[in-house]
Amino acid sequence: MQIKNLKTWEEFEEELVELNIETERLREEGRGFVSPILFRGQSDSKWRLDSTLKRAVRGMVFSTYLERIRNIENTISTYTCSDWKISSKIGSYLKKADWNWLLLLSESDFLAIVEFMVYLRHHGFLSPLLDWSNSPYVAAFFAFDRQFEKLKDEQVAIFALREYCCGGKNFAMEKPHIVGIGSNLRTHKRHYLQQTEYTICGKRQKQEYIFCSNEDAELPTDEPAIPQDVVKKYIIPASEQKKVINKLKLMNITKYSLFGTEDALIQSLSMDMVLE
């Protein structure tokens, strides 16, 4: 992972221009599919690229996670009056031997499970999914938005991920590898408000799929080096907070526009007072 220490927000915007130039160059070379860059903001530059589940529960395997979300489906369905109908679908995957997500995501039953996982994640349930945004400015909001607290001496981080650089991907199932989930999902409306996409990182161990940190992803040593899952980390002084939040507000990127709730509206108004 390439790390760049920046002094100002303007330097980050200059980096965005360079990323766009890089995208156009790769596409003009015509060596294969070049994916758009995904962005993720974190309010502490020292945090790793870990999912909420990875940070809270170490060593959980996917079959255990599937059982947990199957057990809460009825509770969720009763409260929301929505029937996700995933219990029977989960049953067919609990003893899955080949956890190749690239293939599984093409199956409608598995995609329905992922959509339920995304829905749960948006409501705070621990998740192995790491969320990104297609917008660097949405990512910047999550990096700099710390309610009722002016950031001064700390540093925030914005990550940029390009999953596909020149066509396909190679990875060894027994080593940590990243798989992008995409954005075409039927799930919570915040998924679209925040222009969200997701990645998952894991590895196969015996007959199980174990969740890993996105920073631990490895290229297969017995394959030719193919650029993929390229991550750049931009570290920005948190003292740029007021400048950034005010600029994002002019772009209608606020907690209210990204979450669409009454609580988010009140918090957005409170943030205006904090940053005066």
Are residues 92 and 110 in contact, defined by beta-carbon separation less than 8 angstroms? no
Residue 44 main-chain phi, psi, to 5 deg: -130, 120
| Structural domain contains residue 9 | yes
| Structural domain contains residue 205 | yes
Q: Tell me, what's the pLDDT at 80?
A: 78
The answer on pLDDT for 191 being more than 80 is: no
Are residues 181 and 114 in contact, defined by beta-carbon separation less than 8 angstroms? yes
The answer on pLDDT for 164 being more than 60 is: yes
Q: Tell me, what's the pLDDT at 109?
A: 87
Q: How confident is the model at residue 68 (pLDDT cuts 50, 70, 90)?
A: very high
The answer on pLDDT for 131 being more than 90 is: yes
The answer on pLDDT for 187 being more than 80 is: no
| Structural domain contains residue 19 | yes
Give residue-wise pLDDT tens across range 22-63. Answer: 999 988 887 788 889 999 999 999 999 999 999 998 888 888
The answer on pLDDT for 150 being more than 60 is: no
Structural domain including 200 reads 2-239
Tokens of 40: 């993720």
Are residues 170 and 219 in contact, defined by beta-carbon separation less than 8 angstroms? yes
| Structural domain contains residue 133 | yes
Q: Tell me, what's the pLDDT at 19?
A: 95
Q: Tell me, what's the pLDDT at 219?
A: 62
Give residue-wise pLDDT tens across range 82-122. Answer: 788 888 888 877 766 566 776 777 788 888 898 999 989 98
Are residues 49 and 199 in contact, defined by beta-carbon separation less than 8 angstroms? no
Q: What is the mean pLDDT of residues 164-190?
A: 79
Q: How confident is the model at residue 153 (pLDDT cuts 50, 70, 90)?
A: low
Neighbours of 90 (CB within 10 A): 21
Q: Tell me, what's the pLDDT at 220?
A: 55
| Structural domain contains residue 273 | no
Tokens of 1: 């992972």
Q: How far is CA 202 from CA 56, 149, 217, 226, in A?
A: 16, 35, 8, 19
| Structural domain contains residue 258 | no
Q: What is the mean pLDDT of residues 11-19?
A: 97
Q: What is the mean pLDDT of residues 218-238?
A: 76
Segment of 87-101, 120-134, 160-174, 196-210 carrying the highest mean pLDDT: 120-134
What percent of the chain clears pLDDT 70, i.e. is strictly above it? 92
Q: How confident is the model at residue 205 (pLDDT cuts 50, 70, 90)?
A: confident
| Structural domain contains residue 266 | no
Q: Which amino acid is at 116?
A: F
Tokens of 217: 């992803």
Q: What is the mean pLDDT of residues 201-209?
A: 83
| Structural domain contains residue 252 | no
Q: Tell me, what's the pLDDT at 244?
A: 95
Q: What average pLDDT does the structure give for the chain?
A: 86
Q: Tell me, what's the pLDDT at 271?
A: 80
- Domains of the chain: total: 1
Are residues 244 and 9 in contact, defined by beta-carbon separation less than 8 angstroms? yes
